[in-house]
Amino acid sequence: MLEALETRGFAAYAVDMRGYGETPRDATGWLTPRRAAADVLAVLTWMATRHPALPRPALLGWSTGAAVAHLTAATSPTRLSALILAGYAPDPKGVIAPVAGPAVPLKQRNTRAGAASDFISPRVTPPVVVRAFVDTAIKTDPTLADWRNEEQFICDSSRVSAPTLVMYGERDPNIEVRDAGNFFAGLATLDKQLVVFPGADHCAHLENTHDAWVSAVVTFLNRYAVSGR
């Protein structure tokens, strides 16, 4: 994804949350939504400083990353120029109840079955893509991150005022179409788009819908560009 955006002229960065990839856990061993959003905000601030001549950063999140992006945009709306939520559109009236979890992080091992579980659309997903994704996931994230206090996530889309693109695969099992429509309608911004990728599932950005996914992102971010002037 970084390469695809970079070749289209974007300064693109990816963030490994605490406990993901090469980013270590903090002393608690846990990751919370507010901690994750604060980390994303720190990265947005760093990016703005690194590229002072560019517009404010746009924030793109997928799946749980989109939930973090949603929270970040709701709490720090002036720090980003646009919000892109992929594979995520909850019931805006939903409430996430607190869950009494384990006292210490579980540090469960990642599995090939777990890493492959989001790919449910063989018509748009070449097996080689699934194998490559699973191999990479096991190598870079051998131990699953441990989340707690997930009630800190929000569902209310009316708290989002930044220009927003919502997109998901037609067969994404995490998306309820009615909820997605209500979530989109409830966004406070009038500058918004909704894109659904036919035949795709939760991993639309990696499947045969990859080019369409990238095109939707680029078109949204370039929506004010005027040619011939």
Q: Which helix (H) or strand (E) holds 195?
A: strand 192-197
> Residues near 99 by Cβ (< 8 Å), separated by ≥ 6?
150, 151
CB 79 within 8 A of CB 4: no
Domain-located, residue 227: no
Residue 214's Cβ-count burial label (10 Å; 0-12, 13-18, 19+) is middle
Instruction: Report how far apart, in Å, the C-alpha atoms of 164 and of each of 4, 26, 83, 92 are.
Output: 20, 31, 5, 15
Strands (E), 45-162: 58-62, 82-86
β partners of residue 193: 165
End-to-end, the C-alpha distance of the chain in Å comes to 30
User: Is residue 84 pLDDT above 50, yes or no?
Assistant: yes
Query: Residue 226 pLDDT more than 80?
Result: no
118 vs 34: CA distance, rounded Å: 25
What range does the domain containing 26 cover?
2-221
Does some domain include residue 226?
no
- Percent of the chain at pLDDT exceeding 70: 98
Q: What is the mean pLDDT of residues 56-64?
A: 97
**Domain count along the chain:** 1
pLDDT higher than threshold 50 for residue 227: no
The CATH number for 193's domain is 3.40.50.1820
Whether the predicted pLDDT of 224 surpasses 90? no
d(CA 145, CA 64): 12
Task: Tell me, yes or no, whether 112 lies in a domain.
Answer: yes
Residue 229 lies in a domain: no
pTM: 0.96
Residues 164, 83: Cα–Cα separation, whole Å: 5
| 77: in domain | yes
Range 128-134 average pLDDT: 98
Whole-angstrom Cα distance, residue 101 to residue 30?
Answer: 11
In a domain, 144, yes or no: yes
The reply to whether 109 falls in a domain is yes
pLDDT of 229 above 80: no
Tell me whether residue 67 is in a domain.
yes
Q: How far apart are CA 57 and CA 34, in angstroms?
A: 20
- Confirm if 169 and 204 have CB atoms less than 8 A apart: yes
DSSP codes, 126-153: -HHHHHHHHHHHHHH-SB---B--GGGS
